[in-house]
């Protein structure tokens, strides 16, 4: 593992409406893993966690090196697609993970969150405050958020604080993930001490 690391979180809607997209998304994750390993300047510097969410969020894979990247779970009969609990969960997980990395004296870049959904939250009033807390400028560990709209999604523009992609435009998930990672690693200043860049 490099002395500077970029924590990445793939947060994927695994509600029933996403069932037809999982093969495509898992292919994208495999492409992302392959692209990271093929680039010597990146391999060893990227850690990735996978979070699934429907009615409630859960960790599919904790933060690990890219060669251990898990596939997304098969959607079950979940009745909701609640964005708010996912954002609250991500803030807690990021806090815990970055603190653990800093204890190992690693220099940590500001995290990246890749938020994947078909864009139909079932908690339209609850998620904006949770998202505001996740992206609060006063929180030093706030992530850059890349939204990836799956299928006919068109409601994720407010969530992509860093970038927004739509699969219907022909953008492949693996390409979007790798491009976002490369942009951060090539443009953010190398971390000094244990501050986030």
- Given CATH 3.40.50.20, say whether it is the number of domain 4-187: no
Phi (first) and psi of residue 117, to 5 degrees = -160, 160
The gap between the terminal CA atoms of the chain, to the nearest Å, is 18
* Mean pLDDT per 10-residue interval, the chain, length 197 residues: 86 89 90 90 91 92 86 72 96 96 91 91 93 96 94 80 88 92 84 52
pTM recorded for the entire structure: 0.92
Q: Give the per-residue pLDDT at 193.
A: 47
Q: Give the per-residue pLDDT at 3.
A: 81
Structure tokens that stand for 49 in this block: 């966690």
Q: Give the per-residue pLDDT at 72.
A: 81
- Dihedral sign from CA coordinates of 138, 4, 49, 99: negative
Q: 137, 1, 128, 115: which is closest to 57 by C-alpha?
A: 115
139: helix, strand or coil: coil
């Amino acid at each position: 593992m490099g002395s500077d690391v970029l924590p990445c979180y793939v947060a994927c809607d695994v509600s029933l409406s996403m069932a037809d997209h999982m093969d495509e998304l898992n292919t994208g994750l495999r492409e992302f893993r392959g692209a990271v390993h093929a680039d010597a300047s990146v391999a060893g510097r990227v850690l990735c966690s996978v979070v699934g969410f429907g009615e409630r969020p859960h960790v599919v894979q904790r933060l690990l090196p890219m060669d251990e990247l898990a596939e997304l779970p098969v959607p079950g009969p979940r009745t909701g697609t609640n964005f708010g609990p996912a954002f609250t969960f991500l803030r807690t997980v990021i806090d815990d993970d970055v603190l653990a990395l800093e204890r190992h004296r690693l220099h940590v870049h500001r995290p990246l969150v890749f938020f994947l959904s078909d864009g139909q939250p079932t908690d339209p009033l609850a998620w904006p405050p949770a998202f505001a807390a996740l992206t609060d400028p006063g929180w030093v560990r706030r992530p850059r958020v890349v939204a990836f709209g799956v299928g006919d999604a068109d409601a994720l523009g407010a969530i992509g604080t860093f970038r927004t992609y739509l699969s219907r435009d022909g953008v492949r998930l693996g390409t979007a993930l790798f491009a976002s990672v490369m942009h951060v690693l090539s443009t953010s200043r190398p971390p000094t001490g244990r501050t986030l860049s």
